[in-house]
Amino acid sequence: MMKKIIKIMILSLLIFLLSILAYNYYYYYKSLRLNKDIYYELQTVINNFNGSLELMNDNNVKDFLNKNYTLIKHSNYLKTKNHKIYNNIFVKTNILKGSPFSNEVSDALWWFNDFNTKLNTFYLLNNDLFNSDMIIKDPTKTQETVAKLRSNILELNLLLSAKNETIKAIIDNQKVDTKYFDDLEQNIQLAYKFFEVIDNFMGAKKTATTLVLVQNNRNLNQSGGKWIYYLILTCQEYKCSFSDIDFVSNITAAMVDKLIPPEEIRTKKTIWIYEDLGWFFDFNDSANLALKYYPTKNQFNGVIAVNISIFEMLMKNMRPIDFTIDDTPIVITANEIESFLINLTAYKNNKDLTLNSEKLSLFWNDFSKVFVTNYKNVDNWQYFIFNLYNYISSKKLQLYASQGIMQTLKDLKYNNTPSQKEKTDYFAITKSNILDKAIDNNLVFKVNLKVILDDDYKLANSAIVKVENKNSTKIKDTVYSYFQILFNKDIKLSEAKFPSRVGAPKTSSVDYTKHGFVTDPKIETINTKTAYLAEDDVRVYENNDFMTIGGWVVTNSNQSKNIEMNWQSNYQVDKEEKIYRLFVQKQPNVDYLLNVEINYPSDNNGQNVIVKNIYIDSDKLIEIKLD
């Protein structure tokens, strides 16, 4: 039973990508539809035509088609609920043997009909994949369906190819907007890549093994949270099996290499363990370390990291989980599930660990049964898919795979690494809880970004990050948070003030060499390339296209402190276009309010100001038109 539930979850993580494709089609359907006046005019003409076609002679048919072809060719009939009307035109006009209407019209109608048939096939196969019963009961059919979809997509792509003579004729002779065909072709190609990713994760051609990590988003590091549970997914020809779910701390106990911590962590910790390896904002780096230091020689093809909050989402439509241990009944609701699972990871001795392991096993057994039963319901299944889509867009779920698949994922607009966009300003901020206290959900911040444009529209930026510790005064723990802010590497930093001074790493009482600790090359590279500004207790690290500024914010309950930054960006607003563009990438599991204030010159009104409040709950490209 547990295998079934895990299989559903992982397949859903992959299949939910299809919802993006569906959205793209829906978007183009709407954006390319006729305006209402033209649409209703066309519909009226068609209805009249259908009613009187039998009375027309061939010349009438020719005149009608030539007269109304402009409306027909721009109707984008594939994208309307009334496409059957157009099929009716196609059938009735072509059954008139010897009709002298233009070959061009005939070819276009034939093409539309062929494309429509294949597109409908795509939808039908798509619907099959969203059938949870098929996924659970018949992995062979699932694989066959994906294979048919890929073949179907290639046929659609061929129809949309720029080399297709019919497409050339329609575009060249009738001056049809090429964007329609270009957009459709692009989306068809993306669809093919979706199924390529699914095939690879599901072992269509060779066995695929994936490490699944569940992270505690209440105890943050840059990749989204300390890893607390893990399991291994193995798929071959769409048939999947799982190892038992276990505590990540058991991996730490079995690690062959003991790791010397990064410089920032060494200020407060002397060792670096497996659950700390998600230290990087670039999830590729975190995933690579997870695979590198996994204690056995498993050949993994990928990594999936997902928030523990996924269990709360799943249980919204489920009955409470209940089991009995040592004659004590335990009942867990959706509101309690996160705390229950987090508490299981806290134990003082082997006896506690044994008890918590038994609780985890009993919980998982009942959870699996309830989930399988519950998500046979179509509405619940759609709820599940919808939320998984949100999980990946908000970075509550992250994927890493072999290099070829990662490139495909990037083509699909999924990115788990810092990335630039051309002619765009850039900003990202992360916070990490250095000590192992699960209180990050009460440490919040907001960013006030001020942008000043001179007469040449060059930028001078400043930012104030207000950090608030909203813990109850009953909580006496001091929170040590390490903040890092990322910019384009070509900025000129003039000021970086962090409110707390922790200092350089102190001499550790641990003799790393004597105890067999090793330095990971990735960490050593960062340490050697990082400039420590002792006067400000700030670290500056240049990595690829980015400059990272790091420093400390130490707070107690009900306390707030500010980070202050000033810099000049090499990005320049186009004076003719007058649009300020800012690409903001968010840390997984950290949402915040960004206040953007733009000061810019105007020939008529002197200095103008625009203020925008933007909630950063996903990576966002912000475009602000300057009046």
Q: Tell me how far apart the alpha carbons of residues 105 and 69 are, in angstroms, rounded to a whole number.
A: 7
Q: Tell me how far apart the alpha carbons of residues 584 and 594 are, in angstroms, rounded to a whole number.
A: 10
Q: What pLDDT, on the 0 to 100 scale, is given for residue 391?
A: 80
Q: What pLDDT, on the 0 to 100 scale, is given for residue 113?
A: 61
Which two three-digit tokens encode residue 13? 């993580």
3-state DSSP of 291-343: HHCCCCCCCCCEEEEEECCHHHHHHCCCCCEEEEECCEEEEECCCCHHHHHHH
Neighbours of 453 (CB within 10 A): 21
Please compute the mean of the pLDDT values over residues 372-388 and round it to a whole number: 69
Q: What pLDDT, on the 0 to 100 scale, is given for residue 561?
A: 96
**Domains of the chain, CATH where assigned:** 11-187 (no CATH), 206-411 (3.40.630), 425-502+537-625 (2.60.40)
Q: What pLDDT, on the 0 to 100 scale, is given for residue 213?
A: 94
C-alpha separations of 456 from 453, 490, 503 in Å: 7, 18, 41
Q: What pLDDT, on the 0 to 100 scale, is given for residue 441?
A: 74
Q: How many helices (H) and strands (E) does the chain have?
A: 19, 23
pLDDT (tens digit per residue) in 519-549: 888 888 888 888 888 889 999 998 888 999 9
Confidence label for 296 from pLDDT (cuts 50, 70 and 90):
confident
pLDDT (tens digit per residue) in 382-437: 677 667 767 877 788 888 887 666 666 666 666 778 888 888 999 999 998 877 66
**Amino acid at residue number 512:** Y
pLDDT (tens digit per residue) in 453-463: 988 899 999 99
Residue 334 neighbours by CB under 8 Å, 6+ apart: 312, 315, 316, 318, 320
Count Cβ neighbours within 10 Å for each residue of 295-332 and write b for 16 or more, e otherwise: eeeeebbbbbbbbbbbbbbbbebbeebebeeeeeebeb
Helices (H), 202-248: none
Q: Would the pLDDT of 27 be above 50?
A: no
Q: Tell me how far apart the alpha carbons of residues 3 and 365 are, in angstroms, rounded to a whole number.
A: 10
Please compute the mean of the pLDDT values over residues 100-108 and round it to a whole number: 48
DSSP helix/strand/coil, 283: helix
pLDDT (tens digit per residue) in 165-185: 655 555 554 444 555 556 556
Q: Would the pLDDT of 102 be above 50?
A: no
User: What is the share, in percent, of the chain residues with pLDDT greater than 90?
Assistant: 23
Q: Would the pLDDT of 10 be above 80?
A: no
Which two three-digit tokens encode residue 267? 């200020």
Q: Would the pLDDT of 483 be above 80?
A: yes
The per-residue pLDDT of the chain, averaged, comes to: 75
Per mean pLDDT, which range of 242-251, 312-321, 356-365, 399-408 is the poorest?
399-408
Please compute the mean of the pLDDT values over residues 192-206 and round it to a whole number: 74
Give me the phi and psi of 577, to 5 degrees please: -75, -40
Rounded to two decimals, what is the model's pTM? 0.74
Give me the phi and psi of 471, to 5 degrees please: -65, 150
pLDDT (tens digit per residue) in 576-596: 888 999 999 999 889 999 999
Q: Tell me how far apart the alpha carbons of residues 602 and 271 are, in angstroms, rounded to a whole number.
A: 56
- E strand or H helix at 606: strand 606-616
More confident call, 489 vs 297: 489
Q: Which of 93-102, 157-166, 368-377, 490-499 holds the top average pLDDT?
A: 490-499
Which two three-digit tokens encode residue 46? 């068609």
